[in-house]
């Protein structure tokens, strides 16, 4: 397969997933680390795109801000439930019912107590059950989470990912978040590039494909709607750095 040519960042809008795309996936969400070279790269990308760079993540925007200090970037958090544009304006989708969240929270905690190795991540408006430390429990997790999701519809819906099952607010997608950001300056009028590594990114791949942009799947061996692929996180960083030029990796 020929090497993927770097984009012209002066006419591009960059949308970057975080875990598995910019950062290596860790055993737990709190175990990830952002190196100074990545912060420097993101700063260079922000300048090269005239601000048309956004993080699009399953993490909350508050968590993204804490990870990438001192940068405060445009972002879509919780799979598109919340969004912050380049102007700093913040908005979110309709809040899920508190009763549904509490019911789901109780069920996930009970499931984790029954099966060592499962980890519940409470994101306030969504709940994730990680089984990276117990991959043999995948069938147990899928069955249980399918049942729990059925009990809290239509407030929450099930989203599967890489060794994680998440109950997120219904109707929130990364594709919708990218579409909304593209309607705002400085993204408007540029060609979108979306890079992601998981099932949660497929809606964004589809939207970007539909408007003639560039969709890139990272470390995905199976089927994907992304038009291009990169093998791993290092390849993503190298490709983005190549687009910026040698100065992008200076600390």
Residues labelled catalytic: 17
Beta carbons within 10 angstroms of residue 143's beta carbon: 10
The DSSP code for 14 is E
Q: How far separated are the first and last CA of the chain, in Å rounded?
A: 33
Residues 6 or more apart in contact with residue 69 via CB below 8 angstroms: none
CA distance 16 to 236: 10
Q: What are phi and psi of 23, to 5 degrees?
A: -120, 145
Q: Does 33 sit behind a cis peptide bond, omega within 30 degrees of 0 on the bond before it?
A: no
Closest CA to 60 of 121, 107, 112, 103: 121
**Cβ(194)–Cβ(204) under 8 Å?**
yes
């Amino acid at each position: 397969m020929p090497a993927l040519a770097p984009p012209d960042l002066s006419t591009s809008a960059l949308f970057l997933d975080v875990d598995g795309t910019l950062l290596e996936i860790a055993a737990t969400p709190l175990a990830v680390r952002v190196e100074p070279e990545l912060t420097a790269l993101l700063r260079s990308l922000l300048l090269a795109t005239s601000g048309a760079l956004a993080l699009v993540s399953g993490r909350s925007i508050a968590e993204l801000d804490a990870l990438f200090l001192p940068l405060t970037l445009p972002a879509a958090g919780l799979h598109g439930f919340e969004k912050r544009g380049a102007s700093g304006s913040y908005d979110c989708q309709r809040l899920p019912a508190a009763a549904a969240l509490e019911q789901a929270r109780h069920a996930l905690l009970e499931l984790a107590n029954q099966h060592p190795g499962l980890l519940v991540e409470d994101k306030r408006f969504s709940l994730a059950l990680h089984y990276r430390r117990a991959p043999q429990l995948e069938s147990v997790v899928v069955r249980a989470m399918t049942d729990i999701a059925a009990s809290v519809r239509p407030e929450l819906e099930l989203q599967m990912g890489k060794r994680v099952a998440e109950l997120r607010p219904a109707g929130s997608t990364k594709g919708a978040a990218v579409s909304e950001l593209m309607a705002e300056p400085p993204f408007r009028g540029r060609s979108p590039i979306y890079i992601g590594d998981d099932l949660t990114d497929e809606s964004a791949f589809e939207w970007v494909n539909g408007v003639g942009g560039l969709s890139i799947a990272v470390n995905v061996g199976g089927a994907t709607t992304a038009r291009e692929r990169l093998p791993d996180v290092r390849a993503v960083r190298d490709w983005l750095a190549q687009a910026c030029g040698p100065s992008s990796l200076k600390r």
